[in-house]
Structure 1
Amino acid sequence: MTTMAPETDVRRHELAGFLRSRRERITPEQVGLAPGSRRRTPGLRREEVAQLSAVGVTWYTWLEQARDIQVSPQVLDAIARSLLLDPSERTHLFALAGAVDPAPGATCAGITPALSALLEQLDPIPACIQNSRYDILAYNRTYGRLLCDLDAVAPEDRNCLLLAFTNEAWRSSIVDLDGAHRVMAAKFRASMAGHLAEPPWKALLKRLETASPEFREIWARHEVVGVGDKTKWFHNREVGPLKVDHTSLWLGPLSGPRLVTYVPADTESRERLERLYTLASTAA
């Protein structure tokens, strides 16, 4: 009778092989270490990766030996930096470890130079690219000042749902905050139905439930609503009231990233958004 290795065993061995391959391609000089002499293997030694990552040598050795040990996202983050992983490799590392990247918004391999240029060309119309989990993956200058100073928000906190329930500046800019809360939570629940077992979705839900009693109360209602566009009203702290038409343009499958724009719905709003863009450009 043929038996198959459990998925966790396969993941651990894939992770071990991936770490070894990345370690062996890096020279000591690339990470600021002396080359030394009598190196019998290419690349870095295990103890050097452990030193750079601030973890124990034995622990890191066990990781490369596919031992059944626990590894935190913070340690994976340190290892990714020590091994000079690019965005795709970093994503692969966290996927193999079954862990949630603590800084998912720091870089996004899906934001091409063309998409970045498109966001810039849309100014002074506020625009961003976000996924179905409400993570803000990229944004232009006007969007960065629309609801709060988004540049001052840590990349891992740039999530519309999280900001709407926990960031006071963002909350104060939404005219109908209660209505926005209900709609966003309902859309999030509808989207999450296809991602119930995925760690990033579960981590965001846990964070929202921990941080916001308002979210917990709304989430308990089990309301769902589909995606759609609508007119919204904001009160920007720098230029005043804004009436905008919210539109989403999907860049792939419906569950994937989308381009979100806020087109001014009247002349006053257009003039105020132009002023906001000027302020954002001056501050840059």
Structure 2
Amino acid sequence: MEPSGQERRQELAQFLRTRRARLQPEQAGLSSGGRRRTPGLRRAEVALLAGVSADWYTWLEQARNIQVSAQVLDSLAAALQLNGDERKHLYLLALQQLPAEQPPASVGIGSVLTQFLELQGTSPAYVMDPKLNVVGWNKAAALIYGDYASMSERERNSLWRTFTSPYVRRMLQHHWESHARHRLATFRSHYANDPGDSWWMSIIAELNTASPEFRAWWPQHDVLSGPEGKKINHHPIAGRLVFDQLSFVVTDAPHLTMTINVPDRDTDTASRVEKLLSGSLQPEERLQPGER
């Protein structure tokens, strides 16, 4: 049974009181002002740190039915030094929705995730940030999709590469348009978290100039998320490769998405990728019947 509005407000009020009680004035850059009757910050101090009136914050802790904006919730989250999970909980209690993602300024992957990528073996795998920049990959992905290590930062952006790389078009052949539209719709859904930001505006402007397809499709406002399903690639050495695509959010780094392309079991894709990895693919094996 879904809680009523009053029950949610009571839960929010209790949550705020517990977060306030655990934070000492010195941790918030305030003077303790001598002995205090109760632990933690005073309501007026939280209000000061969050840039709201003391009365308004008091009403919030009293579970009154008042309007709360995302901007104010972010200010409260900062004032109370909430972690990511606590910030989400605050939003769900106050607005019944999750906050927009706030990816870190510097995005990368750790050693465990790097090792996990390499363990995928014949499954080309890569990690993307919210801007669709490829920030991690395994050897199979580099051999099939391109040498990411030698690319510029812009070239490692999946949307940019989809619309500007002749290699990607040759690899996808008549599947290119569906792939490009899917990438664009995914990019649009991420763009909604930070519209107007200079990075997003820059790549949109550049793609408008570089790609007639992007210029035609961007105004359509298609929005989509999730994997593409079956992928068919036409590799210049390995020939036709068929994959089933799996994507998921990295649990301890929710701003990152991992995509694993699993070789289709009804084809010889896995053996072709294995030979590609070992460098033992023979010329006569490079193309399948019908591709010569």
TM-score (ref. length: structure 1): 0.56
CA contact (8 A) 2:230 2:243 kept: yes
Greater C-alpha Rg: 2
Aligned alpha-carbon RMSD (Å): 2.3
Partner of 1:156: helix, strand, or coil? coil
**What are the residue-to-residue correspondences of 1:19-168 with 2, within 5 Å?**
110-168=108-166
Structure 1 residue 261: deviation in Å? Answer: 0.6
CA contact (8 A) 1:125 1:142 kept: yes
- Give the equivalent residue in structure 2 for 1:228: 227
Q: Distance between the aligned counterparts of 1:254 and 1:219, measured in 2?
A: 29
Q: Deviations over 1:140-170 (max 9, x none)?
A: 1110021233343223320111111111112
Q: Distance between the aligned counterparts of 2:222 and 2:199, measured in 1?
A: 21
Count of matched residue positions in the alignment of Structure 1 and Structure 2: 174
Identify the range of structure 1 (134-143 vs 109-118) with the bigger mean alpha-carbon deviation.
109-118
Identify the range of structure 1 (253-262 vs 109-118) with the bigger mean alpha-carbon deviation.
253-262
Structure 1 residue 255: deviation in Å? Answer: 6.7
CA contact (8 A) 1:132 1:255 kept: no
Structure 1 residue 124: deviation in Å? Answer: 2.1
Q: Is the alpha carbon distance of 1:254 and 1:204 closer, same or farther for their aligned partners in structure 2, counting shifts above 3 Å?
A: farther
- Give the equivalent residue in structure 2 for 1:187: 186
- Give the equivalent residue in structure 2 for 1:214: 213
CA contact (8 A) 1:127 1:259 kept: yes
Structure 1 residue 108: deviation in Å? Answer: 5.8
Q: Residue 243 of structure 2 aligns to which amino acid in structure 1?
A: V
Q: Distance between the aligned counterparts of 1:219 and 1:144, measured in 2?
A: 29
Q: Distance between the aligned counterparts of 1:268 and 1:108, measured in 2?
A: 39
Q: Is the alpha carbon distance of 1:269 and 1:125 closer, same or farther for their aligned partners in structure 2, counting shifts above 3 Å?
A: same
TM-score (ref. length: structure 2): 0.55
Q: Distance between the aligned counterparts of 2:154 and 2:225, measured in 1?
A: 26
Q: Residue 177 of structure 1 aligns to which amino acid in structure 2?
A: W
- Give the equivalent residue in structure 2 for 1:259: 258
Identity %: 25
Runs (4 or more) in structure 1 with deviation over 6 Å come to none
CA contact (8 A) 2:247 2:257 kept: yes
CA contact (8 A) 2:186 2:223 kept: yes
Q: Distance between the aligned counterparts of 1:172 and 1:150, measured in 2?
A: 18
Structure 1 residue 253: deviation in Å? Answer: 8.6
Q: Which runs of 5+ in 2 are unaligned?
A: 1-104, 281-292
Structure 1 residue 274: deviation in Å? Answer: 0.9
Structure 1 residue 252: deviation in Å? Answer: 4.2
